[in-house]
Amino acid sequence: MPNLKPYTDQVSDAYTRFTAGMRTLRCPVPGCTLRIRYRNVTQDEAGRLTALANDHTRHSVRK
Ligand SMILES: [Zn+2]
């Protein structure tokens, strides 16, 4: 069985794990040092932070 869960299931699983401790998000763009750390946030807030971390255009300096 390939491990291809729907995104919402992945978020739910992650939420279960990180409620027990700190969670760190990193930007996927090479060279970008953005990190977001959080714990004990709501699932909505976690989703918002994940979206922010993955959206490089929202934290990069545009020229
Ligand atoms: Zn970035």
Q: What is the pLDDT along the chain (63 residues), one digit of tens a residue?
A: 666 777 777 777 666 655 567 889 999 999 999 999 888 889 999 999 999 999 999 987 655
Residue 32 C-alpha from the chain's centroid = 15
Residue 44 has what pLDDT? 94
Residue 19 has what pLDDT? 53
Residue 52 and residue 59 in contact, taking contact as beta carbons nearer than 8 Å: yes
Q: What is the CA(58)–ligand 1 centre distance, in A? A: 8
Q: What is the CA(60)–ligand 1 centre distance, in A? A: 6
- What is the token pair recorded at 55? 């959206």
**Domain range list for the chain:** 17-56
Helix (H) / strand (E) containing 38: strand 35-38
Residue 18 has what pLDDT? 52
Residue 47 has what pLDDT? 94
The radius of gyration of the chain's CA atoms, rounded to the nearest angstrom, is: 13
Q: What is the CA(13)–ligand 1 centre distance, in A? A: 24
